[in-house]
Every structure is written in C-alpha cells, then in structure tokens.
Structure 1
C-alpha cells in the first residue's frame, strides 16, 4: 500500500485487508501484478493506517486497552506495562494531522477511519480509549470534535455524543476558552447539537430539583 502524501509503503496480506468491507471492495477492482496488489490511499495518514493494520492483525492497536480485574476497570498500556514498546508507535494521545493543519486526538481519527472502513470492533476500542484520555487542552478537544462531525455521517451518534457529554461536563473550562468562542462563531451542526444537548441537560436538572 502507498499511503498519504508522503507515499509511505505498507505491506499487508490481502485476506487480512479484506476484513474491512471498504478495503475489500477496493481490492476487488485491483489487478494482480506479479502476485501482489498495490493500493493507493493518498487521503489516509500513515500513523492512522498503522493503527488500522495493527488492529486487523492483532485485534487492538498500541497502546493496548487492558482490563483490570481487581477494580473491574479499563486502562491503557504504558511504558511501565511493557518497559519497551518495541518501536510499535507513539503512545501519545494526540498527533499532528496535516489535513487539519493542527493537533487532534489520535483515537478520534482512528474511530472515523474505522467508520469508513466498516470496522465496528475498532470503533468500540477507539471510543473506549478516548474516554480514558485526560488533561487534553480545550482547543484540541474542540478541534477533534469538529473533525469527528466532519468525518462521520449524521447516523453515527456514539462519537458525537461522547464529545457533547464531555463539553457539557467541562463547560466551565470551555466557557473560558477563546477557542470555544471562535468555534461557536463558525457554527455548524456540532454547536446546534450542543445547544440541544445543553437544553436537555438543563431540563434534566430542573426535574431532579
């Protein structure tokens, strides 16, 4: 596979790639060239495609999602769990997305790509991982929320609902954010949904009282 504007090369087995309905459809239209098929994915980011391939082969992507039986809770693998990640990739929650031109949450982009590729299990993993991230700056959250809305269909509600709930829970922080004001001025469905969610939230509080 030739991936991204930098034309990074990735190798993978066709039967593994075919686990994705999106990739399987592309592969069907490709002719064999000396026993191999070459896919060109210029719109994808190599770091995200690496996560997709790792999931297709191993059922997860680094850092892995681990379950603690003692507390019955989920957590992310870190350097203390493995001492060495074996060069598998970054464990950072964010990365620079050239298409956005700024920093966004990596798990959000993985989720949106999984949506396009028809990988429901990967969507669930990416969403759970994103829920475990902490100390993410307000501007990164808002930018990632905008990305989520721009790259998922209106019928896909889980990731969007995650962002709406996150913004409402942290509304005091976002209220002080200059990025929030700028994003609101840009408008769009994100802030329409946020307005509706806030109204519902206020109604719920009124009923409790």
Structure 2
C-alpha cells in the first residue's frame, strides 16, 4: 500500500516561524532596570570587609608635632588616620599623588598625640586596661604623684580625642581618669588643666572635678589649701562650681532634717531691724 502523502501548507509554516521569532525576541529583550524580577533578595550584596592589611597598604601620612628644632615627625597609615574626621578633612586636601603628605600639629603634645595613634592601631593606649576596673602598671608615674602626671596624661588624650572627633577614645581616656590614683596636689594640677583646656559646656569632665573638691573640704585645709586658693583665683568658674555643689548638698541636708523633724524649721530667725529709735 502506498504511503500517505503529507503536505504542509506554506501558510502554516509561516505562522510557526513567526511564533518562534517572536519567542526569541522576548528572550533576547533586556529586562528594564526598574522592573522587579523577583531575584533581588536571593543573593544579597555583602559589604566589603576592610582588613588590617588594607590599612597597611594605604599611603603614609607624616604628622609634624611641634615647631623648629623641637619638632618630631610621626608616621601613620592614611586609612587608619582618617577614622578621625579632623584628619580625614586634612587628607582630602592632598590632590597630587606625588605630593608630600604632611600634617602639621605645632601646638599639640607629643606623648598625647602618640597615644592617639596607638589607639588607632590597637584600640587602646598605654597604660592599657587589664580588666573592667584596672589598668596595667605604669613605672613612669612617680609615687606619690603630687604633680598629677598620670591624670594629666589621660586628660591630654581626652582633649585631643575631643578635637579629633574620636568619641570612643575620649570615653576611654575619661574612664582611665577615674581609675587613676593621685594626691590632693596632683588633683589640683589636673583640675587646672581641665578648666584651662576644656569647654565650659563639657560637664562630663568638669563636673566630676568640682564634685571631687566639693566633698573633700578636710583635704583642702590640711593638704592643698594654698593650691586650692590659687586655683579659685585663677579660675573663678572652678570656685563657683565647687561652691554650688557644697550649697546644694547643704540644702538637701536641711530638707531631710526638716522632713525628719516633722516639717518644723529649726533655724534661728534673723533679727528684724526696727526703724524706731526708743
């Protein structure tokens, strides 16, 4: 029996080819940037991790501390230094890659600046914290510390951290201040620095200084009376702050005493001056 003859019309073939070409155009058509594909959250973009090696590969910045023959040059990697907004702004001025990258700090303390750089590299500075409430031993601090060497060291770091925009470092220095042992004369030296170098609005460091002396009047009389007197004359704000705290404490004691005695005033009345002459 002869095989059946199969015929394909040209019209049908043309329709199939048109469908195939239309499908290929759809597949090749680029997806619009604003159209959601449903795949955005399958592989979230991971933030790039900055390693310590990346810091070490960054350019070297030279900090010139002091002026003239007394100046000292300290070198630091740029990627670490620009953690400070103060230095980041200074580095942004370097436009030429071949330009010597130097930042001058003519009025800053060398040891305090080196402590700031040590913190940028290690997240701490000497003497480092050896526990929540203890620091490592510092053999350079005299005993007794009548000059406030240890307190002043941390106070200078605190003020630099404030200026360089490093709040975590200023908090660390402030904590070390409260962990430091000193003498009455050393505390006066520290108080003088605080009231000379810090802003009047900086109660975080000023208020504890005033509170220290407001609660130690017996120390003032026996150990540092003359130093305290000179401090009050040199910085009247210090004397006012101390006096305010003393009066506040006295007022609170009076209120507690009146409450305990049933609200009756125990103070002696002031004698009224009469204008009538007998």
TM above 0.5, one fold?
yes
Equivalent pair of 2:215/2:246 in contact (CA under 8 Å): no
The higher relative CO (CA closer than 8 Å, separation ≥ 6) is in: 1
Query: Is 1:180 aligned with 2:228?
Result: yes
Q: Distance between the aligned counterparts of 1:143 and 1:29, measured in 2?
A: 38
Q: 1:36 to 1:16 in 2, by over 3 A?
A: farther
1:76 is aligned, of 135, 155, 176, to 135
Aligned length: 189
Taking the aligned partners of 2:123 and 2:242, their CA distance within structure 1 comes to: 33
CA distance in 1, matches of 2:196, 2:178: 20
Q: Which has the larger radius of gyration?
A: 2
Equivalent residue for 1:84? none
| Structure 2 residue 60 is matched with structure 1 residue 11 | no
Task: Work out whether 1:160 is the aligned partner of 2:206.
Answer: yes
Q: Measure the CA separation in 2 of the matches of 1:208 and 1:4.
A: 55
Q: Using structure 2 for the length normalisation, give the TM-score.
A: 0.61
2:276 is aligned to none
Pairing 1:142–2:188 present: yes
Per the normalisation by structure 1, the TM-score is 0.79
> In the alignment, is the contact (CA less than 8 A) between 1:105 and 1:141 conserved in 2?
no
Deviation at 1:12, TM superposition (A): 0.4
- The one-character-per-residue Cα deviations of 1:72-131 (angstroms, maximum 9, x if unpaired) are x5100127xxxxxxxxxx75387x89xxxx996211111111111111111111111111
Report if aligned partners of 2:141, 2:150 keep a CA contact under 8 Å in 1: no
